[in-house]
Structure 1
Amino acid sequence: EKDLQQAVSATDYYRGIGYDVIGTFIGDSELFPLLQPYLEEKTTVLAGQSGVGKSTLLNTLIPELSLKTGEISEALGRGRHTTRHVELLELAGGLVADTPGFSSLDFDHIEKEELRDYFVEMENVANECKFRGCLHLKEPGCAVKQKVETGDILQSRYNNYLQFLQEITDRKPRY
């Protein structure tokens, strides 16, 4: 019950900031009609952490695939890279790429001043911050921090932002 409430809350939040969200469970017979408009005559890439169900999703959409799927490693708390290569599959008049999962994100191409632009809900209110170059950390008059306090921006999203910002700040300089 609690997990369902969290899923509904997260779904509502992401829809509210402009993302298309399709809630389903593996094996759902209504899955293909829901996804078809996103797949028709397009090239689509399934990307995400290892073990989130990319291959399982494709097996549901194209049962004859019988793609190998794995379990979450209890020791690592993540998937075990069952998919080892990128494969293009025909679906809905387009192509879907099943990709190997990843276990970490790489921020080498993002500068700390750019990170805020990757969080749409922060980008939308950043112009209300007192300072133009606000990093949404300790600056006075930060509209983003105010929105976090009121719940208009999820604390978990802000925490992710802070974690990513720290990783960017701590990375070794590129030469």
Structure 2
Amino acid sequence: MRTGRIIKSLSGVYRVDSDGEMFDTKPRGLFRKKKFSPIVGDIVDFEIENVTEGYIQHVHERQNELKRPPVSNIDHLVIVMSAVEPDFSTQLVDRFLVIAHSYVLNPRIVVTKKDMASDSQIERIEKDLDVYRAIGYPVQFVGKKDNIETIFDEWGSGLAVLSGQSGVGKSTLLNAYRPDLAIETNQISKSLNRGKHTTRHVELFERKGGFVADTPGFSALDFDHIHKDEVKDYFLEIQEYGQGCKFRNCNHIKEPQCNVKAQVEAGNIAQFRYDHYVQLFEEIANRKERY
């Protein structure tokens, strides 16, 4: 019996990396009976049938798991945004952060295409990024001249998963880091101001100290698994200041003696972060009532 990590899944065949050796494996029938499927990122025990093939016998417990796209045991969720084409959006950043925290993931923010932005755009983006830095999120703002290896090394060891909408430069980042991969990239659709989907499946690629994964571009972020009362816990500074509210179950919308609203007034919570919180809270509240 050997142990390894699933690095690719295509048509029911799971490629497992075991100490640098690759095996194409299939899950035993017992997984089908349990209606359980292994996913990319899983640590598995498998039996070798011949030189490069085997059967998965056991899947180790997952430390975390992203549902869409399915990938597990993520050490760093790298939220990739672009400065321009598509334009940088704090609302999208906040939505990705909420998804990350809801799946108990460790998020960081990378903004690409700095060299394509004007000085005034860079200034505006840096001001927004300072808000995220103050909350405690690791942030990188990068252009073509930056040392790509240094950028990847800053993420630390383990599995880093790149997430973000299509066209922000996830595949371009990977190609710069590992030119041998030659991952297909597409131009931005001018009418939609977003990229076409180029990554079709999740695959882990080796990097110094671990793996990195490019994920299919998100066209929509799914909040179906999140209850409205949980949203405040996924805005870290709102969660922290919320402990000073008069009412323990305060949702910081219309409640009296709300410390969060007081901190927004005082400038300790960014207005745009609070606005995005209220927007998402109401969106989820209305969805729950509708269904």
What TM-score does the superposition give when structure 1 sets the normalisation length? 0.88
- Matched residue pairs, number? 173
Structure with bigger RCO (C-alpha 8 Å, 6+ apart)? 1
* Superposition deviation, residue 157 in structure 1: 1.4
The one-letter code sitting in structure 2 at the alignment partner of 1:141 is Q
Q: Secondary structure at the match of 2:205?
A: strand
> Can you list the C-alpha shifts for 1:81-113, whole angstroms capped at 9, x where unaligned?
121111211111411111001122111111111
Q: Deviations over 1:26-46 (max 9, x none)?
A: x23423123314243x11111
Change (3 A) 1:151 1:72: farther
Distance in 2, matches of 1:47 and 1:124, equals 26
Percent identity of paired positions between Structure 1 and Structure 2 = 50
Q: Which of 238, 258, 276 does residue 160 from structure 1 map onto? A: 276
Aligned to 1:83: 199
Q: How many angstroms apart in 2 are the aligned matches of 1:8 and 1:171?
A: 34
Question: Larger C-alpha radius of gyration, 1 or 2?
Answer: 2
Quote the Cα distance in structure 2 between the aligned partners of 1:55 and 1:104. 19
Matching residue of 2:147: 30
CA RMSD of aligned residues (A): 2.0
Give CA-to-partner distance per residue, 1:46-70, whole Å, 9 cap, x none: 1112222111111121122221112
What's 1:143 paired with? 259
Equivalent of 2:134, from 13, 16, 25?
A: 16
Judging by fraction of residues, say which structure has more strand. Answer: 2
Q: 1:2 aligns with which of 120, 125, 132?
A: 120
Contact 1:78–1:103 under 8 Å retained in 2:
no
SS where residue 15 of structure 1 aligns?
helix
SS in 2 for 1:141: coil
Q: Which residue of 1 aligns with 2:222?
A: 106
Distance 2:194 2:134 in 1: 29
Distance of 1:147 and 1:77 partners within structure 2:
35
Do the aligned partners of 1:39 and 1:91 also contact (CA within 8 Å) in 2?
no
Match of 1:28, SS? Answer: coil
Aligned equivalent of 1:54: 170
- Following superposition, the deviation at residue 19 of structure 1 comes to 0.8
Q: 2: distance between equivalents of 1:159 and 1:148?
A: 10
Q: CA deviation at 1:174?
A: 10
Q: Which structure's residues are more often helix, by fraction?
A: 1
Look up the equivalent residue of 1:67 and give its one-letter code: I
SS of alignment partner, residue 204 of structure 2 = strand
Return the TM-score normalized by structure 2: 0.55
